[in-house]
């Protein structure tokens, strides 16, 4: 199983926002579906096969034109 990817951090260069973003992600996953005798579903062993961030927009400005992804070095 591949190691989980680190969670991305973002910054809006237009307003300085570091905390509120709308992120649209397409994710392909494989999971074990376990149904109880009563018919309730429990999803177990979920594995992310592919993940693609389609769009990131700033909650304060309302657009994504100035949103930058921060690398680990710039977060300290």
Q: Establish if 1 belongs to a structural domain.
A: no
- Neighbour-count burial of 72, counting CB atoms closer than 10 A to its CB (0-12 exposed, 13-18 middle, 19+ buried): exposed
Domain residue limits at 50: 9-74
43 within domain boundaries = yes
Report pLDDT digits (tens) over 16-30.
999 999 999 999 999
Residue 3 lies in a domain: no
Q: Specify the pLDDT at position 43.
A: 95
The verdict on residue 4 lying in a domain is no
Nearest to 69 by CA among 25, 26, 13, 2: 13
Give domain status of residue 2, yes or no: no
Establish if 25 belongs to a structural domain. Answer: yes
**Span 30-73, pLDDT tens digits:** 999 999 999 999 999 999 999 999 999 999 998 889 999 998 76
Q: How many domains does the chain have?
A: 1
CB 27 within 8 A of CB 48: yes
């Amino acid at each position: 199983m591949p190691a989980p990817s680190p969670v991305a951090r973002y910054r809006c260069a237009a307003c300085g926002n570091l905390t509120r973003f709308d992120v649209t992600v397409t994710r392909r996953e494989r999971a074990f579906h376990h149904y109880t005798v009563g018919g309730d579903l429990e999803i177990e062993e979920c594995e992310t096969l592919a993940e693609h961030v389609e769009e990131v927009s700033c909650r304060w400005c309302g657009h994504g034109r100035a949103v930058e992804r921060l690398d680990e070095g710039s977060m300290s």
